[in-house]
Amino acid sequence: MSGLSFVQASAIIVALSVILASLHKLLSPWIELPRLPEQWLAFRSGLVWTLFKDRVGFFEGVALDCECGFAIITSDPGRVFWNTLWGQSRNPHPKARLLLYDYARSGTLQDLELEGFPSDFILRPLGLNVFRGEGSTRTRLFLVNHGSDVGTVEVMDIDYENARATYVASISDGGHMIRSPNSVAPISYTSFYVTNDHYLIRQKHPVLSFTESVLGLPLGWVSFVDFTCQTKPIFTIAAGGIPYANGIVVTPTGKEVMVASSSTDFVRIYERDIETNALSGNYDTVYLTFHPHSLSFDRSLAVDDPAVFDRNGKFLRGVIAAGSPDAGRLYCMANGPHGCVAPSVVAEIRRGHGPDLCPFPGSLFNLHSKYYARTLYADDGTNYPSVTTGDMDSKRGRLIVSGLYADGLLVITWNPKEKFA
């Protein structure tokens, strides 16, 4: 739109929005997407459990601490009343919680007590991740929060023994480089990457924000934050031009950063400079058959395993992507979680070419691609809809999956000695 004024450009986008909305309403009853299996697993010895269904729901994020065998989970029933992109946008009474799931031993689920937080703190969580330094016993949680007018990244230390999360810092720059935060990937106790999914945020531009997603406009970006000096954090833009930048993960070697684009169904793979934290201007791309929401890494895999990382520290396997292939049904659930069901896919991204035995493959074969996706779990929504996050501990034989508008937590178990392609 070179040469157009902001008013003219906005008018064009509004007109496109009206046309797209009309077409969606007209054509959606006649659109038939590829059918997913009712439930499919990549593990021959696998068992699927939906736990805590009667106790909690609306899990958007889950982060595993494989070293300790705990999962930290967000639960927010208020998500039926608010959404950063679509659905309703009422202001519910805060009901969100952080939960601690002992998946390796007792199997218990309990609330994390929030300690030391400001009296006016409101929890409305999106993406989360944990960091544990090599040889350290301290676990730090980084969590994207939309509890105020501007998005923040909340930083807290986790005490597993006492099920407690202690406040460390709330990071924000007033809505500039952390404008529409969605997911976070820490690289130390005081630094992290965070995705910004939109430039045109819904609070200020409700129609334009929706159009930005539908058209796949490349307006999202990744910011890098260093708050070693809490009174003056340093904010820089690490990567830009990403349509609906959502999930993000840094490999355990620190050599690569992956970013999911939910509106265009691809994952960008950047090289990272360990000394400067800069991301490469060039990147590789893996195209998926679903809208990737979150990314994680199976941190139970050994860094020195030649089947996991090559001699240059580049990953060969272990990146987990989760999401839904049907944005229309996900939109339907956002407006009424029990009126319809959105299908779910969890897949592992690997370097090279290989088989995917699922009837609904995680990626389409591309001879020129350096990567492919191998489906781990697929569901047409009948058993567990609207998956947003999957995190794996293959050493213990656990894949833990959360669903934004689902009831309960999906846990897949298998014999870790089982070898699968």
Give the single-character DSSP code of 37: P
* Assigned domain for 24 exists: no
Rounded average pLDDT per 10-residue block, the chain, 421 residues = 59 69 54 72 93 88 96 87 60 79 96 95 94 91 90 96 97 92 97 90 70 80 95 94 96 98 95 96 95 97 96 97 92 83 96 93 86 96 95 97 94 88 57
Task: Name the pairing type of β-strands 47-51 and 409-413.
Answer: antiparallel
Note down the domain range covering 190. Answer: 32-413
Task: Decide: 386 and 330 in contact? Cβ < 8 Å.
Answer: yes
Q: What is the pTM of this model?
A: 0.89
In a domain, 315, yes or no: yes
Is 26 a member of any domain?
no
User: The domain spanning residue 325 has which CATH number?
Assistant: 2.120.10.30
| Total number of domains constituting the chain | 1
Do 96 and 62 touch, CB atoms closer than 8 A?
A: no
Q: What is the dihedral of CA 357, 358, 363, 366, to 10 degrees?
A: 30
9 is a domain residue: no
CA-to-CA distance for 418 and 416, rounded, in angstroms?
5
What pLDDT shows up at residue 162?
Answer: 97
Q: Which residue has the tokens 């976070």?
A: 184
Is residue 126 one of the residues assigned to a domain? yes
Alpha-carbon torsion (291, 295, 404, 83), positive or negative: negative
Tokens of 164: 């407690």
Instruction: State how far the Cα of 169 lies from the Cα of 230, in Å rounded to an integer.
Output: 8
Q: Is residue 17 in some structural domain? A: no
Residue 7 within a domain? no
Q: What is the pLDDT of residue 212?
A: 74
Q: What share of the chain is helix, strand, coil (3-state, %, to 5)?
A: 10, 40, 50
